[in-house]
Homo-oligomer: A and B are copies of this chain.
């Protein structure tokens, strides 16, 4: 198969403490698995974070959109496939398919990544990375039948939550953990929301970094019966994250 080395496949099981009260895998845990798969796939092909770090570059996740028809239930096996769809000078698109234990797709995800210099924090040229090696892995003949992450624009948001960034919010780079934002955003909704409905689509755009001690405020605007836009600001100023949640 031509795509054998382009698509990476990774096996998982929905652990008991990784599901919610409806026994379905949480969106935060799924997000963590997606990011790990991106890391494994890149590392195995020579453009992983360890290789980049040697040259003082690192990957930064810019956007993530996940759309699920169903979610793995407690103790169920599932797998994640990932591949690079496109490489531009400053961004790369990486897609994912989530398959159930029988290998049937139950959802898809799209992500957008930049590479930055760890010294200047400025974006670097992806096409120059290892002589353009990453472009060898572009895979255009695998489907990812969900919309790209869109622009999230709010008109009259209402502040619905506040959280002080603590020790367990902070990742190995000293920033608020990308996954924790997903948890905090879903925590804005009451439990009944998840009893009656399920998250069909979750979009997140990482706009700026949050740090330990930042007061994060959560601003929400309802866009449709089941659709909500959320903006997270730090210290009542700069936006750090924008998100869209669509239930079904």
Contact = CB atoms under 8 A, between A and B. Distances in A.
A21 B171 contact: yes
A199 B212 CA distance: 19
A189 B19 CA distance: 27
Given A17-B32, A17-B177, A187 B171 contact: no
Nearest to A161: B166
B170 A21 contact: yes
B168 A187 contact: yes
A217 to B, nearest CB: 16
A1 interface: no
A167 B179 contact: no
Nearest to A39: B16
A101 to B, nearest CB: 15
A79 interface: no
Interface string A170-186: 11111001110001001
Nearest to A43: B75
A191 interface: yes
Contact of A178 (B17, B21, B26, B74): B17
A17 B171 CA distance: 6
A36 B15 contact: yes
A51 to B, nearest CB: 12
A23 interface: yes
Contacts of A39: 16
A158 interface: no
A113 interface: no
Contacts of A171: 16-17, 19-21
23 contacts: A15-B32, A16-B36, A16-B171, A17-B36, A17-B171, A17-B177, A17-B179, A18-B32, A19-B172, A20-B168, A20-B171, A20-B172, A21-B170, A21-B171, A21-B173, A21-B174, A23-B172, A28-B168, A74-B172, A168-B183, A168-B186, A168-B187, A191-B212
